[in-house]
Amino acid sequence: DADVTQTPRNRITKTGKRIMLECSQTKGHDRMYWYRQDPGLGLRLIYYSFDVKDINKGEISDGYSVSRQAQAKFSLSLESAIPNQTALYFCATSDFAHRAGGNTGELFFGEGSRLTVL
């Protein structure tokens, strides 16, 4: 099983609908992130959470909300989807510790959720 699991992997919806993308991880990491990928724009940070009680806006948070239900779960919601939110969404996790010679904050990504808003 994948360490970082995203559901659904693909979703087509209509303008105005509420959509939730879910992410769960088995890596035991404290930090979780939601990124959006658009062709030619790379990945842009939507929201991030450094622990269960910590939620922070990223570069492009407008139109999105998140919930950190547990250390292992971080969901992204679009309250009223619009066509320009059509994109590939990635969840990622990282371990905070910056230890010489050890795990040093690398991001581990899920396989992505492709969302199409018509």
Residues of this chain that interact with another protein (CB under 8 A) are: 4, 31, 33, 35, 40-45, 48, 50, 59, 90, 92, 94, 96, 98, 104-107, 109-112
Q: Are 51 and 28 in contact (CB under 8 A)?
A: no
Q: Which is nearer to another protein, 16 or 105 (CB)?
A: 105
Q: Which is nearer to another protein, 48 or 74 (CB)?
A: 48
Provide, rounded to whole angstroms, the least separation between the CB of residue 16 and another protein. 29
Provide, rounded to whole angstroms, the least separation between the CB of residue 28 and another protein. 15
CB atoms within 10 A of CB 77: 15
Complete DSSP assignment for 25-59:
ESS--SEEEEEEEETTTEEEEEEEEEETTEEEE-T
Query: Which H or E run contains 21?
Result: strand 19-25
Provide, rounded to whole angstroms, the least separation between the CB of residue 62 and another protein. 18
